[in-house]
Amino acid sequence: MPRKPRLRSGSGVTLHEIGLAAGVSAITVSRALNSPERVSEALRNKILETVDRLGYVPNRSARSLASARSRTILVLVPSLTNTVFIDTLVGVEEVLRVAGYQMLIGNTHYSASEELQLLRAYLEHQPDGILVTGLSQPPEFGAILEKLGIPAVYMMDLTDDGRLCVGFSQEEAGAAITAHLLARGYRRIAFMGAQLDERVLKRLEGYRATLHAAQLYDAKLEFLDPSPSSMQMGAEALERLLREHPDCDAVFCCNDDLAIGAIAQCHRLGLAVPDRVAIAGFNDLQPAAWTTPALTTVATPRNRIGAEAARLLLERIAGLVISAPRQDLGFAVVARGSS
């Protein structure tokens, strides 16, 4: 009786070979990849580690040639409800559509483990390249890309470690808005942070460095909550900050949602902005210009980041020489009535 042919992946590695390396059967490997709930966590992790090490990628039946391009780009973002990342996706789509590429969008929910899981899942579609939000992926993430030779561009932040990146310095932006508040005469400046992802924490570092340099830093003026950001959180945090620290005269909010909520709460409490307390946000979302008073914030080039990252990735896919692997698109402090 002829032996059943071994299923070969797009990378040339078979399930049988994965099983031999992991010390399990090919059926167990298949079960771990396709029905993970049927395999113990320890065994599943062992198999996934072997999959990553050997560079296994499932081979889709729709692919006629292993060397053919899929004309798809995987884009990983931490949220599909945050306007910041919607704007970025719009920029990406505008460039890819003209170039004849389609987007595969993965929502990581600000989770490194989900990000890695999505990468593994979408590799079955054999994307020609990947656009990634942020820089703090686990080591396995980069190892998979290197093993399979998939080009990637990292968005929203900057690094000098050789990775292609398009964005701006989150630390410098946090420092700049804090320096603006200092220049306006405020001395008891609080920081309000939510979600506490890598970009928020870098803005916090810029805030801290600027106040340390001015010898005005006070750790008690930091409100940090890992929960998702909301205007309600901004309102509640503002009231708590002023109740616990009545000498606070300014608040730098890590995003505009918190800042808009803080301004609204000041109105409810009868507190004048900026006479009693100045409020500053981050990102310059559309509502920022329509608060009363209008919100001082940091304008970030979200759409352009997506577009330039997509262009850079297409250049890498085409084999072009990249003269500027680190593209700093900058930011701008937008001073309005709230400060």
Please tell me if the domain spanning 1-68 has the same topology as the one spanning 170-299.
no
pLDDT at residue 68, rounded to an integer: 63
Read off the pLDDT of residues 227-274 as tens digits, 9 standing for 90 and up: 999 999 999 999 999 999 999 999 999 999 999 999 999 999 999 999
What's the confidence (pLDDT) of residue 5?
39
Give the start-to-end residue ranges of the domains of the chain: 1-68, 72-168+303-330, 170-299
The CATH class for the domain spanning 1-68 reads: mainly alpha
Q: Are 126 and 57 in contact (CB under 8 A)?
A: yes
> What does the pLDDT read at residue 57?
74
- DSSP annotation of 14 reads B
For domain 72-168+303-330, the CATH architecture is 3-Layer(aba) Sandwich (3.40)
**Sequence-ordered list of residues with C-beta below 8 angstroms from that of 193, at least 6 positions apart, any chain:** 200, 201, 203, 204, 222, 223, 224, 225, 254
- Residue 69: per-residue pLDDT: 78
Q: Which of 187, 196, 256 is nearest to 224 (CA)?
A: 196
Average pLDDT over all residues of the chain: 92
Pairing outcome for strands 72-77 and 129-133:
parallel
**301-334 per-residue burial string, b: 16 or more CB within 10 A, e: under 16:** bbbbbbbbbbbbbbbbbeeeeeeeebbebebebb
What is the reported pLDDT for 215?
A: 98
> Can you read off the two tokens belonging to residue 204?
């916090």
pLDDT of residue 65: 43
Q: What is the structure's pLDDT at 60?
A: 52
Q: Give the chain's residues under pLDDT 50.
A: 1-10, 61-67
**170-299: which CATH topology?**
Rossmann fold (3.40.50)
